[in-house]
Each structure stands twice: as structure tokens, then as C-alpha cells.
């Protein structure tokens, strides 16, 4: 029996286009994630130690990742969380063919667009592309680009994983400066494929093959990914890799697989600044997990990955400015937040999610009140970042911008041409079928916390007008979270496909990995 096929083989007249699709997708996804999780710490540690990056590091890590995934697959490691209950029917060939055709028709032009030119977007070119040049092996941090603060480059201290990956791939293309094809831009299509595989894999485990194909098509057909512009597949932005890491963490949460959750949490802070907050939210979401045998292992894996990521990012950040690695205040603060979150979770895990939610809401209100008192001090400080934060807190607590905030938020959520209908579906489900989400409280908490934090970040960290922030930044944050929303919607999609509510224990319950 094919693993992950929900206990059923397709009838001979309706054989799937791809034999054992879930197993193949799981293997590919594991290999890709393992390669990333080997390369990220290795490259960071070499740079922190002041050593040059060898060109062979990237292929070596991905070869090891592939080998590990294949060995694990062959050994019959618990790659699946078997679903209880009756088998669900396989996906019809027409659905598979349509999904594959749609995927190919939007991915092929993106691959061509990625290879044809350097990134054609602002951040993709001015920020990430330039840093990829600086990180191309045999790069080290002794170059003037890094050690001289007078050398100007955009976002020098941003998390380095994406430019490290781009630089690594660029070094493999032989003569990078004169290369006709911009191989380093292939990471966009690769992360997009990995994102699709991740949603497919989660869908297969949670809701069966039909729903998996449908959810994958829904994620792929989100216009903002394939239309040229900020955050598109070939834009060179880090939003797509971050969306993949978020989906990985969400998949690990919902299918109770510690390695998958840890991989997502490890990658998040190393990809984009907000990834550190998303990793924290993944830890906090575990507060809401139902008691089950996998929960302690999930919490340990999540904490270890978060601490490792915070240490790697925190130690590398000063090195990117030519300073020695040190225990900086941001590093200590993030480590403290992760450990405190874990400790609080240990104290209140078995006291019920409602009590935890009340405690969190009270803590958030207290933090807001404290921030309101601190706002004048921050606004009067000499640090531009603190001044901006002070202004943001003023903006939030004065309620003067409330109509603009609400309208801007709603407009972005329901900007169908860019993000599609995912958040409309989510709101319909939250309003009228909350039980669809209730079976996975940790995923629901992760998504709600993420969307709330994304929304609050707009007034708190706005550098320009609110309307510009909603268009330029909040839209991309919503895009990052959209695959998580699709994973949360999987039971609902299953219900729509199977024309009725699935019995409890079929869609909602997944056995913990043992």
C-alpha cells in the first residue's frame, strides 16, 4: 500500500497520473528541507568563525540532505502520520492533470523570467541581489563590503540565508560575472515548488488526496506569486522562502512532526527580519496544542530550533558590520523571549487553552498600556528606530487612525486580484464553521497570532503613510501567511469536495507519531 494514500489504492480504471504522489512529494520535500537545514547552520558558522565559504558547501549539504531523506524513506521511518478512519477516494485524473497544467503554465514563465535577467524589482535587485554577489564563494567577511561601515549597501544586516543560497548557486555557474543565465535566481522557482509540495504533503496527511491536489492548486494560483512584481516567484524577494518556512512550521504543528516543525522554525529567523517574530509565534502556538504524546517532543524541537536560529542570526549580525561576534542586546532579548515562552508554556500547558488565551490577551493589553506610557520617551529619543516605534505606539493608542487602519486592513485582506479569496474563505469559516478549525487549536492560534501581529506591525513600524504601508508591506505579510491559511482550511476544502461534513476522526484527527 502506498504510504499516505489514506489506506486506499485507486481503482484500476482511475489510476493517478503520478504513482505514489504523496510518497514522492514527501521525499522531495524532506530532501530540500534537509539540505536547507544543513546548509544554513554550516554557512553561518563558517562566516561567524571568519572562514571563507567554499563553493562545494552548497552541493555537499544538499547531497547530504538528499541522502538523509532517501535513507529515512527507505528505512520506513515514521514519515507519515496515519489517519484514522475509512479511506478517502483518490484524486481524479482530471483534477491532477488540471493542477499540474496550471502549475506548469505559471512556473515555466517564472523560471524563464528568473534566468533571463537579474531581479527586476527594487528590493530584489538593490537588496538581495547585491548581497548575493557579496556572499558568492569564496567570500568571507574580511571584504570591505562587510568590514567597512562607510561602504553603502542596502539592508546589510538583514538575515543572510537567502543571499548565501543565491551566492552558493551563483558560484556553481562557472563564470558568474559573465553568465548568460542568472542561475542564482532559480531559488525563487525552487522555493515555490517546495511550498507547493509542503501544502500537498500536509493536505495528503490531513484531508486526503483530492483535497491535497485542490489546496496545492489554490496556493499556486494566488496571483501575487506568479504576476511580476514585489514578492513574485522571480522577484528575488525573501517573502516566498519565508512563506515556505511558515508552511513547513504549520505543517509540523498540524501533523505533529517535530523535525518538520523544527525545520520551519530554524529557517524563519534566518530568512527575513520578521521571521524571528514568526518563530516566536510558532512556539507560542504550542501553548494551545491539545495534550498528546507528541507535544513534549514538539515543544523541545521547537525551542532548540528557535534558540539555534536566534544564536546564528544574532552572532552573524555584528560580523556583517565588521564587528566581532558578541552577545548583543537583540540576541539576548530573542533568546530570553524564546526561553520565557517555553517556560510559560510549561507552567500553563494543562490549564486549558481558554485560560491561556485569556492570559495572553491580558498580557497584550498590559504591554499596550506600558507601551503607551513609554511612547513619549521613545518619540523623544535620538534613535530613529525608537522614534518611529514611539510614533507608531502613539498612532495605535490614540485611535485617531482607527478608520484608516480598519479600512486599509480590510482592503488588503480582500484584495482578490493579488491574494485571491483565501482570507474571505477563512473569515467565512471562522464566522460560520469554527469547528473546522477547532480540531487544530495550535494551527488556529499560529494563524491568528500571525495575522494579528502582521496587522499591528503596520501602525507600529510605519516608515511612511499608512496607505503606503498597507499596499507595500501588509500585502506581502498576508501573502506570507496565505499558505498557512490554506493548510488551516484543508478540512473545509475536504468538506466541500466530499459534499458534506467528514466524520470526526477522519479529517480532524491525526494519530501522533510514535
Partner 1 sequence: MKTPGHKALTLALGTALLAHLGLGLLRIPKKAWLARIAEVRRYEREGPVRFHLKVYGEESIRAIERVLEESPPASVVLFRGEWRGPLEFAPALLHPRLVVREHALPPGATSYHGRPLARDPEGVFVLVGRSDRILLERR
226 binds partner 1 (CB under 8 A): yes
Between 222 and 480, whose beta carbon lies closer to partner 1?
A: 222
500 binds partner 1 (CB under 8 A): yes
Q: Which three cell numbers stand for residue 420?
A: 485571491
Whole-angstrom CA distances from 184 to 40, 189, 244 are 16, 11, 18
Between 251 and 492, whose beta carbon lies closer to partner 1?
A: 492
Q: How far is the CB of 331 from partner 1 (least distance, A)?
A: 26
What mask of x and - would describe binding to partner 1 in positions 293 to 332, judged by CB under 8 A?
----------------------------------------
Q: Tell which phi-psi region holds residue 302, choosing left (phi > 0), alpha (psi between -120 and 50) or beta.
A: alpha
Whole-angstrom CA distances from 118 to 14, 138, 172, 333, 342 are 44, 21, 16, 37, 42
Beta-ladder partners of 510: 83
Residues 398-417 that bind partner 1 (CB under 8 A): 416-417
Spatial separation of the C-alpha atoms in residues 415 and 135, rounded to whole Å: 36
Q: Using the rule CB under 8 A, which residue among 223, 387, 461, 472 binds partner 1?
A: 223
Spatial separation of the C-alpha atoms in residues 471 and 415, rounded to whole Å: 10
Q: How far is the CB of 130 from partner 1 (least distance, A)?
A: 4
Spatial separation of the C-alpha atoms in residues 507 and 208, rounded to whole Å: 8
Q: Using the rule CB under 8 A, which residue among 45, 70, 86, 116 binds partner 1?
A: 116
Nearest to 59 by CA among 147, 143, 173: 173
Nearest to 169 by CA among 247, 228, 115, 222: 115
Q: Using the rule CB under 8 A, which residue among 19, 67, 117, 352 binds partner 1?
A: 117
Spatial separation of the C-alpha atoms in residues 134 and 285, rounded to whole Å: 37
Task: Specify whether the CB–CB gap between 373 and 367 falls below 8 A.
Answer: no
Q: Which three cell numbers stand for residue 192?
A: 515555490
167 binds partner 1 (CB under 8 A): no
Residues 432-491 that bind partner 1 (CB under 8 A): 432-433
Q: Of 3-11, 18-26, 100-108, 506-514, which segment contacts partner 1 by CB under 8 A?
A: 100-108
Q: Using the rule CB under 8 A, which residue among 424, 435, 438, 465 binds partner 1?
A: 424
Strand boundaries in 359-483, DSSP class E: none
Q: Using the rule CB under 8 A, which residue among 66, 100, 102, 348 binds partner 1?
A: 102
373 binds partner 1 (CB under 8 A): no
Spatial separation of the C-alpha atoms in residues 159 and 171, rounded to whole Å: 20
Between 124 and 209, whose beta carbon lies closer to partner 1?
A: 124
227 binds partner 1 (CB under 8 A): yes
Q: How far is the CB of 220 from partner 1 (least distance, A)?
A: 8
105 binds partner 1 (CB under 8 A): yes
Q: How far is the CB of 281 from partner 1 (least distance, A)?
A: 25
151 binds partner 1 (CB under 8 A): yes
39 binds partner 1 (CB under 8 A): no
H or E element that contains 294: none
Spatial separation of the C-alpha atoms in residues 345 and 169, rounded to whole Å: 40
Between 177 and 350, whose beta carbon lies closer to partner 1?
A: 177
Residues 174-203 that bind partner 1 (CB under 8 A): 177
Between 154 and 290, whose beta carbon lies closer to partner 1?
A: 154
Q: Of 101-109, 351-359, 378-386, 470-478, which segment contacts partner 1 by CB under 8 A?
A: 101-109
Task: Specify whether the CB–CB gap between 55 and 174 falls below 8 A.
Answer: no
Residue 83 per-residue DSSP state:
B
Nearest to 465 by CA among 404, 424, 406, 375: 404
Residue 177 per-residue DSSP state:
G
150 binds partner 1 (CB under 8 A): yes
Residue 121 per-residue DSSP state:
S
- Positions touching partner 1 (CB under 8 A) are 102, 105-106, 109-110, 112-113, 116-118, 120, 122, 125-126, 129-130, 133, 144-145, 148, 150-154, 177, 214, 217-218, 220-223, 226-228, 234, 416-417, 420-422, 424-425, 428-429, 432-433, 492-493, 495-496, 499-501
Amino acid at each position: 500500500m502506498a504510504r499516505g494514500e489514506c489506506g486506499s489504492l485507486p481503482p484500476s480504471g482511475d489510476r493517478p497520473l503520478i504513482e505514489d504522489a504523496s510518497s514522492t512529494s514527501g521525499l522531495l520535500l524532506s530532501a530540500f528541507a534537509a539540505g536547507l537545514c544543513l546548509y544554513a547552520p554550516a554557512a553561518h558558522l563558517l562566516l561567524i568563525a571568519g572562514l571563507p565559504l567554499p563553493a562545494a558547501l552548497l552541493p555537499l549539504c544538499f547531497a547530504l540532505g538528499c541522502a538523509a531523506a532517501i535513507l529515512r524513506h527507505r528505512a520506513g521511518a515514521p514519515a507519515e502520520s496515519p489517519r484514522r478512519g475509512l479511506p478517502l477516494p483518490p484524486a481524479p485524473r482530471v483534477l491532477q492533470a488540471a493542477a499540474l497544467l496550471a502549475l506548469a503554465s505559471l512556473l515555466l514563465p517564472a523560471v524563464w523570467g528568473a534566468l533571463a535577467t537579474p531581479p527586476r524589482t527594487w528590493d530584489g535587485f538593490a537588496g538581495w541581489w547585491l548581497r548575493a554577489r557579496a556572499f558568492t564563494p569564496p567570500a568571507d567577511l574580511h571584504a570591505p563590503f562587510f568590514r567597512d561601515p562607510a561602504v553603502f549597501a542596502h539592508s546589510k544586516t538583514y538575515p543572510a540565508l537567502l543571499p548565501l543560497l543565491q551566492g552558493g548557486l551563483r558560484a556553481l555557474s562557472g563564470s558568474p560575472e559573465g553568465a548568460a543565465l542568472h542561475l542564482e535566481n532559480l531559488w525563487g522557482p525552487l522555493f515555490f515548488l517546495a511550498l507547493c509540495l509542503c501544502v500537498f504533503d500536509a493536505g495528503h496527511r490531513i484531508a486526503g488526496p483530492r483535497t491535497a491536489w485542490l489546496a496545492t492548486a489554490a496556493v499556486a494560483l494566488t496571483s501575487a506569486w506568479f504576476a511580476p512584481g514585489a514578492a513574485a516567484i522571480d522577484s528575488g524577494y525573501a517573502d516566498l522562502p519565508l512563506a515556505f518556512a511558515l508552511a513547513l512550521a504549520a505543517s509540523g504543528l498540524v501533523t505533529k512532526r517535530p523535525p518538520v516543525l523544527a525545520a520551519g522554525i530554524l529557517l524563519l529567523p534566518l530568512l527575513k527580519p520578521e521571521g524571528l517574530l514568526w518563530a516566536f509565534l510558532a512556539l507560542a502556538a504550542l501553548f494551545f496544542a491539545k495534550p498528546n504524546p507528541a507535544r513534549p517532543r514538539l515543544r523541545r524541537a521547537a525551542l532548540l530550533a528557535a534558540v539555534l536560529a536566534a544564536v546564528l542570526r544574532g552572532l552573524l549580525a555584528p560580523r556583517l558590520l565588521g564587528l566581532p561576534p558578541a552577545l548583543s542586546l537583540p540576541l539576548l532579548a530573542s533568546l530570553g523571549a524564546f526561553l520565557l515562552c517555553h517556560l510559560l508554556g510549561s507552567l500553563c500547558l494543562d490549564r486549558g487553552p481558554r485560560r491561556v488565551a485569556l492570559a495572553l490577551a491580558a498580557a497584550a493589553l498590559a504591554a499596550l498600556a506600558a507601551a503607551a506610557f513609554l511612547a513619549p520617551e521613545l518619540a523623544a529619543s535620538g534613535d530613529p528606530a525608537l522614534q518611529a516605534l514611539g510614533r507608531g505606539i502613539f498612532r495605535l493608542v490614540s485611535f485617531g487612525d482607527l478608520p484608516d487602519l480598519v479600512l486599509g486592513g480590510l482592503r488588503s485582506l480582500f484584495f482578490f486580484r493579488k491574494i485571491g479569496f483565501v482570507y474571505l474563505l477563512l473569515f467565512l469559516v471562522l464566522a460560520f464553521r469554527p469547528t473546522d478549525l477547532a480540531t487544530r487549536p495550535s494551527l488556529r492560534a499560529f494563524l491568528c497570532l500571525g495575522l494579528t501581529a502582521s496587522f499591528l506591525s503596520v501602525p507600529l513600524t510605519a516608515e511612511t503613510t499608512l496607505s503606503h504601508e498597507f499596499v507595500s508591506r501588509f500585502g506581502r505579510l498576508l501573502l506570507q501567511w496565505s499558505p498557512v491559511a490554506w493548510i488551516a482550511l484543508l478540512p473545509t476544502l475536504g468538506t466541500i469536495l466530499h459534499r458534506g461534513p467528514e466524520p470526526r476522526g477522519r479529517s480532524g484527527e491525526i494519530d501522533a507519531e510514535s
